[in-house]
């Protein structure tokens, strides 16, 4: 059985019998986990193992584990600072910040891999233009050069732990005030003004980025459709102009910014037609059922191959992880970054 084009979510910390049957559907290719699914590292490992055991090849299991406001795994995991703190460190000491970023990327991925999680949807490659509240301190920096350098270090660290990086949200969510989770997001800047936003993606692609998540932002000067439904953005720009050969994920189709294509079925069809390899449907079981029916029989062998290539190369043994000098050194570097007061958790949705 191949990996299907749909990533779904689960209700709680254990895999229910009806969910196991859902995951056996050929249209399903992955599972995204949220904080409600995660209690302890041991419980998480058991849940991921149960998901992996459902199918061959195993379904991809992903989570949003960026740090700061967006960190789903917390109990028993290192609490990571917002990525903006790496940007501030870069302003003071570029070389030291790159070393810290690589250590942070390794630690993030190693702790997830020790629980057998396949992917984190990270790093954020959006620029901090000072206008987007939903991006805010999730962005590494306002300078595309700094974002590219730090993101490459994060990617290398994740790769050292055996995990592929997923850059988001192409072609850039940082220049729009609206939050695409709850409303239509429109960025009216001209093409020339978007080139800086795309620069980190271009440089990450050149460095071997394995996967990208699209944004639900409309750039009317380029295409009237949101980027995740746009063959102009996905095929012409991302694939052809930038030469990206990795996997492409949609952002959550349940978000309000995705509503321009109609209901869940229409959104899913628009995304895969435009060139997305896998679509996410979260926090809405009825919508997920509609999407699975819509994509019944859908097959894209090239997309399936790109998704299979995201499987991790190795597993980290959790019982030895905290004793490893690399883990201890990474913790010390991260502790040197300024810790934010009163850290608030992000809402339960893909980011």
User: Nearest 5°: phi and psi at 108?
Assistant: -55, -50
CA distances from 261 to 216, 229, 230, 265, 270 (A): 11, 8, 11, 9, 7
The token pair that represents 43 in the structure block: 């419980």
User: Nearest 5°: phi and psi at 211?
Assistant: -155, 155
Q: Which residues of 279-298 are buried (b: 16+ CB within 10 A; e: fewer)?
A: bbbbbbeebbbbbbebbeeb
* Residues 216, 350 contacting (CB under 8 angstroms): no
The token pair that represents 52 in the structure block: 């992996």
The token pair that represents 28 in the structure block: 């399903």
Q: How far is CA 350 from the centre of its chain?
A: 8
The token pair that represents 237 in the structure block: 């720009």
Report the distance separating Cα 192 and Cα 182, nearest Å.
28
Residues with catalytic function:
181, 251
Return the DSSP state at 4. Answer: -
Return the DSSP state at 234. Answer: I
**Is the bond preceding 36 in cis, omega lying within 30 degrees of 0?**
no
């Amino acid at each position: 059985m191949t990996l299907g084009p749909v990533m779904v979510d689960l209700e709680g910390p254990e895999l229910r019998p009806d969910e196991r049957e859902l995951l056996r559907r050929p249209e399903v290719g992955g599972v995204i986990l949220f904080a409600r699914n995660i209690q302890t590292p041991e419980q998480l490992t058991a849940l991921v193992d149960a998901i992996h055991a459902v199918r061959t090849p195993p379904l991809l299991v992903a989570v949003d584990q960026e740090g700061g406001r967006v960190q789903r795994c917390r109990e028993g995991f290192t609490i990571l600072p917002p990525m903006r703190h790496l940007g501030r460190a870069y302003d003071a000491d570029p070389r030291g910040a790159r070393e810290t970023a690589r250590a942070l990327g390794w630690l993030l991925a190693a702790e997830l891999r020790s629980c057998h999680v396949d992917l984190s949807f990270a790093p954020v490659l959006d620029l901090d233009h000072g206008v987007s509240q939903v991006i805010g301190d999730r962005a590494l920096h306002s300078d595309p050069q700094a974002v590219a350098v730090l993101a490459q270090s994060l990617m290398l660290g994740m790769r050292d732990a055996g995990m592929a990086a997923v850059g988001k949200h192409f072609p850039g969510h940082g220049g729009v005030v609206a939050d695409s989770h709850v409303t239509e997001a429109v960025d009216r800047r001209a093409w020339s003004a978007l080139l800086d936003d795309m620069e980190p993606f271009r440089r990450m692609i050149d460095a071997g980025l394995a996967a990208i998540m699209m944004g639900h932002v409309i750039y009317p000067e380029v295409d009237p459709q949101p980027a995740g439904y746009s063959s102009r953005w996905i095929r012409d720009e991302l694939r052809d102009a930038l030469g990206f050969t990795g996997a492409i994920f949609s952002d959550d189709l349940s978000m309000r910014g995705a509503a321009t294509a109609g209901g869940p079925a229409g959104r899913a069809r628009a995304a895969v037609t435009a060139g997305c390899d896998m679509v996410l449907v979260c926090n809405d079981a009825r919508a997920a059922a509609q999407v699975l029916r819509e994509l019944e029989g859908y097959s894209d062998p090239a997309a399936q191959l790109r998704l299979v290539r995201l499987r991790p190369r190795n597993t980290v043994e959790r019982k030895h992880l905290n004793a490893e000098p690399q883990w201890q050194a990474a913790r010390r570097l991260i502790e040197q970054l300024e810790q934010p007061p009163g850290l608030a958790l992000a809402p339960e949705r893909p980011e």
